[in-house]
Amino acid sequence: MSRYTRARRHLLRKYERAVDRIDEEDREIFLGHRVEELNYRELAERHGVSVAEVEQAMIRSLRVIAQSVDGKNRRWWQFWRR
Protein backbone atom coordinates (compact mmCIF):
# COMPACT_ATOMS: atom_id res chain seq x y z
CA MET A 1 0.00 0.00 0.00
CA SER A 2 1.22 3.48 -0.83
CA ARG A 3 2.55 5.58 2.01
CA TYR A 4 0.81 8.64 0.56
CA THR A 5 -2.88 9.33 0.80
CA ARG A 6 -4.94 9.91 -2.30
CA ALA A 7 -5.10 13.65 -1.56
CA ARG A 8 -1.33 13.84 -1.17
CA ARG A 9 -0.76 12.00 -4.46
CA HIS A 10 -3.23 14.33 -6.18
CA LEU A 11 -1.36 17.38 -4.85
CA LEU A 12 1.98 15.91 -5.94
CA ARG A 13 0.61 15.44 -9.47
CA LYS A 14 -0.58 19.07 -9.47
CA TYR A 15 2.94 20.22 -8.58
CA GLU A 16 4.49 17.99 -11.25
CA ARG A 17 2.14 19.41 -13.90
CA ALA A 18 2.87 22.93 -12.65
CA VAL A 19 6.62 22.42 -13.03
CA ASP A 20 5.99 21.10 -16.55
CA ARG A 21 4.24 24.41 -17.39
CA ILE A 22 7.31 26.51 -16.53
CA ASP A 23 9.26 27.79 -19.56
CA GLU A 24 12.23 25.56 -20.37
CA GLU A 25 15.06 27.87 -19.25
CA ASP A 26 13.18 28.97 -16.14
CA ARG A 27 12.46 25.31 -15.32
CA GLU A 28 16.14 24.42 -15.66
CA ILE A 29 17.04 27.23 -13.26
CA PHE A 30 14.24 26.32 -10.84
CA LEU A 31 15.21 22.63 -10.76
CA GLY A 32 18.90 23.51 -10.53
CA HIS A 33 18.16 25.49 -7.39
CA ARG A 34 15.56 23.21 -5.80
CA VAL A 35 16.84 19.76 -6.83
CA GLU A 36 20.55 20.18 -7.48
CA GLU A 37 20.80 22.75 -4.65
CA LEU A 38 22.90 25.18 -6.70
CA ASN A 39 23.04 28.77 -5.49
CA TYR A 40 22.03 31.69 -7.69
CA ARG A 41 25.62 32.59 -8.58
CA GLU A 42 26.34 29.03 -9.74
CA LEU A 43 23.14 29.00 -11.79
CA ALA A 44 24.00 32.36 -13.35
CA GLU A 45 27.41 31.03 -14.41
CA ARG A 46 25.93 27.80 -15.75
CA HIS A 47 23.31 29.60 -17.86
CA GLY A 48 25.40 32.62 -18.83
CA VAL A 49 23.05 35.15 -17.23
CA SER A 50 23.22 37.56 -14.31
CA VAL A 51 22.18 36.71 -10.76
CA ALA A 52 19.29 39.17 -11.16
CA GLU A 53 18.04 37.17 -14.16
CA VAL A 54 18.21 33.97 -12.08
CA GLU A 55 16.16 35.71 -9.39
CA GLN A 56 13.58 36.74 -12.01
CA ALA A 57 13.44 33.18 -13.37
CA MET A 58 12.76 31.87 -9.86
CA ILE A 59 9.99 34.43 -9.35
CA ARG A 60 8.38 33.49 -12.67
CA SER A 61 8.65 29.80 -11.79
CA LEU A 62 7.09 30.27 -8.37
CA ARG A 63 4.30 32.32 -9.92
CA VAL A 64 3.49 29.57 -12.45
CA ILE A 65 3.45 26.97 -9.68
CA ALA A 66 1.26 29.07 -7.38
CA GLN A 67 -1.23 29.82 -10.15
CA SER A 68 -1.34 26.17 -11.20
CA VAL A 69 -1.72 24.72 -7.72
CA ASP A 70 -3.93 27.16 -5.86
CA GLY A 71 -5.28 29.33 -8.66
CA LYS A 72 -4.15 32.59 -7.08
CA ASN A 73 -2.31 35.31 -8.96
CA ARG A 74 0.26 36.40 -6.37
CA ARG A 75 2.63 39.33 -6.49
CA TRP A 76 6.33 38.51 -6.23
CA TRP A 77 6.65 39.62 -2.61
CA GLN A 78 3.83 37.35 -1.47
CA PHE A 79 5.98 34.25 -1.98
CA TRP A 80 8.04 35.14 1.11
CA ARG A 81 5.24 35.78 3.55
CA ARG A 82 2.21 33.83 4.58
pLDDT tier at 80, thresholds 50, 70, 90: low
- Is the pLDDT assigned to residue 1 strictly greater than 50? no
What domains are defined for the chain? 6-80 (1.10.10)
Cβ atoms of residues 35 and 46 within 8 Å: no
23-55 burial, b at 16+ Cβ within 10 Å, e below that, comes to eeebbbbbebbeeeebebeebbeeeeeeeebbe
pLDDT for position 69 = 83
pLDDT in tens, 17-70: 999 999 999 999 999 999 999 999 999 999 999 999 999 999 999 989 988 887
pLDDT for position 72 = 65
Residue with the larger pLDDT of the pair 76 and 37: 37
